[in-house]
Amino acid sequence: MLGQDVREVALAAGHEPTALSRAELDIANAGLVQTAVASSRPEVVINCAAWTNVDGAEGDYDRALAVNGPGAGNVARAAADAGAWTIHVSSDYVFDGTKRQPYVESDQVGPVSGYGRSKLAGEIAVALAAPDRHTIVRTSWLFGAYGPCFPTTILKLGGERDTLSVVDDQVGCPTFTGHLARALVGLAGAERPGVLHVAAAGECSWFQFAREIVEQGGEQCEVSPCTTDEFPRPAPRPAYSVLRSERGAPELPHWRQGLAEYFAVRAQVAA
């Protein structure tokens, strides 16, 4: 989802990207990563690979960690060996969600799920593998036109049901991958070391996001709020994980604008 957007943005910007799918490169295999990166002779490596199944990471933590933790380190180490800068994509789920104001880069991390712990392990692995040549970009609630995501699920369910119940006590920044991709490619060559928070402007709950999806998508189903306790999942989520930057990170458009662009791109893909 994100990788395809990054590739398209990079091409449009005049770069010559080498884009490798999971089938073409398993980042958990350090030897394969070293060979692939060295043969590409990159200036910048943007790591969009990740285990993104939050609930699945609870029951299969070792596999999630292999990709999100040491796998991320493999990419950064290979990039450093090739003289390239690493841009690594991390998550708002490295925070525990107990704040009630936006998280900034210097806030204390404390993941509450296996997925969050695996993403934090990746941040540490990247920093150790490429200590002077990395940017870690934390982002939030990604959605895009090229893969399964929350809007896709809501649109499917909205076409099948008259009513939907969606949790209203988890708040974040739904971020369109097309917007994030432009920021990531813009950071290529900028050599901004350390952590940056890059997420959509505004904030909302999953319920508010779902209601906007239904409205913009023209579905007729009714969306009603519920609590996390009423809709339990295997993995705990941070109740509040809004991200903002204290380091002058690239600013993205509002999440509603991102959703409008998602629908526009989705229509083009379907045409």
Q: What is the pLDDT of residue 189?
A: 86
Does residue 153 form part of some domain?
no
Q: What is the pLDDT of residue 84?
A: 98
End-to-end CA distance of the chain: 18
Question: What amino acid positions are annotated as catalytic residues?
Answer: 115
Residue 69, token pair as written in the block = 């933790």
Does residue 207 form part of some domain?
no
CB contact at 8 A, 217 and 152: no
φ/ψ region of 97 (left if φ > 0, alpha if ψ in -120 to 50, else beta) reads: left
Does residue 231 form part of some domain?
no
Residues of the chain short of pLDDT 50, as ranges, are none
Does residue 222 form part of some domain?
no
Does residue 56 form part of some domain?
yes
CATH of the domain at 15: 3.40.50.720
Provide the domain limits for residue 92: 2-148+174-201+241-254
Q: What is the pLDDT of residue 110?
A: 98
CB contact at 8 A, 147 and 269: no
Does residue 261 form part of some domain?
no
Does residue 216 form part of some domain?
no
Does residue 250 form part of some domain?
yes
Q: What is the pLDDT of residue 271?
A: 73
Domains: count for the chain = 1
